[in-house]
A and B are shown apart, each in its own frame.
Chain A
């Protein structure tokens, strides 16, 4: 398969993740959609690394995985903290910081 297919698939997955962030209300699902977008970026990185024939893009993908793991840990910690305070787990109700 040529690299184009991977890139188009990666854009499609990114768009699906962005749509999920816009239409879902639960913070857990929004974090999942963030994972989708990060993974789409990873796919593009690895595909370009294969296109150039250089392995350094795969190292970038690994670093993105680390960032994603950090984001999950902090985001889920926030969700647990929100749940402990008995606040609603709905991003539209948690809008105190909105300007």
Chain B
């Protein structure tokens, strides 16, 4: 039973990963990522880490993928050009990936770790459940926990600054004058409103 679940989840994860890099439309790539993430959550459950699996589904498949879908819907798909700045890059990339896989697998399997061939020690029912992880996070790893919360706050502030509608640099960029006519032609009301809107705020 466990073998069947493992191979089903591994196939799902691998298929999702290949779908992410193989599908032309970025929207379908995001959907393939959802398949990949759910399969990985199943694998985490098989490794008896329930809390990580739940966080995977909630954080990734819930929040992150929704963010991706929003951005893909906003910027649109866009076709990729066939132009290659490095000649033969598309041919060399699979070779590089195969070499990377062989090297990683050899490095781990050749490490003569005796426990690699086992399923790990017997663990109780409480292994990896929210109580145990929460205890670790709030007792032993309190400082990394707080540091990651600060990092999240910084990332949120950074994203707001990056994506804010107030085009902060209309004067400092010479490219802006090149863009001026096109943006005016696209939306003549865009520029004045973007300057008027922040004032009431």
Q: Could you tell me which A residues sit within 8 Å of B by CB distance?
A: 1-9, 11-20, 22-26, 28-29, 31-33, 35-36, 39, 42-43, 46-47, 49-53, 55-56, 58-59, 61-63, 65-74, 76-81, 83-86, 89-90, 92, 95
By a CB distance below 8 angstroms, the chain A residues around B197 are none
Closest approach, in angstroms, between the C-beta of A50 and any C-beta of chain B? 4
B85 touches which of A33, A56, A76, A92 (Cβ 8 Å): A92
A51 touches B20 (CB 8 A): no
Which residues of B (70-85) have their CB < 8 Å from a CB of A? 71-72, 74-75, 78, 80-81, 83-85
By a CB distance below 8 angstroms, the chain B residues around A68 are 60, 64
B67 touches A46 (CB 8 A): no
A-B pairs under 8 A by CB, number: 252
B60 touches A65 (CB 8 A): yes
Closest approach, in angstroms, between the C-beta of A65 and any C-beta of chain B? 6
By a CB distance below 8 angstroms, the chain A residues around B55 are 62, 65
Chain B's interface size range is 35 or more
By a CB distance below 8 angstroms, the chain B residues around A63 are 144, 148
B21 touches A25 (CB 8 A): no
Given A32-B30, A36-B36, A90-B81: A80 in contact with B74 (beta carbons within 8 A): yes
By a CB distance below 8 angstroms, the chain B residues around A79 are 71, 75
Q: For the complex, what is the distance from the CA of A71 to the CA of B59, rounded to whole Å? A: 13
Q: Could you tell me which B residues sit within 8 Å of A by CB distance?
A: 2-3, 6, 10, 13-14, 17-18, 20-21, 26, 29-30, 33, 36-37, 40, 43-44, 46-49, 51-52, 55-56, 59-60, 63-64, 67-68, 71-72, 74-75, 78, 80-81, 83-85, 89-90, 92-94, 96-98, 100-101, 104-105, 108-109, 113, 115-121, 123, 127-128, 132-133, 136-137, 140-141, 144, 148, 151-152, 154-156, 158-163, 165, 167, 175, 179, 182-183
Which residue of B is nearest A25, CB measured? B80
User: Which 8 A-B residue pairings sit nearest by Cβ, starting from the closest?
Assistant: A20-B21, A19-B97, A77-B162, A11-B104, A15-B101, A22-B93, A70-B155, A77-B159
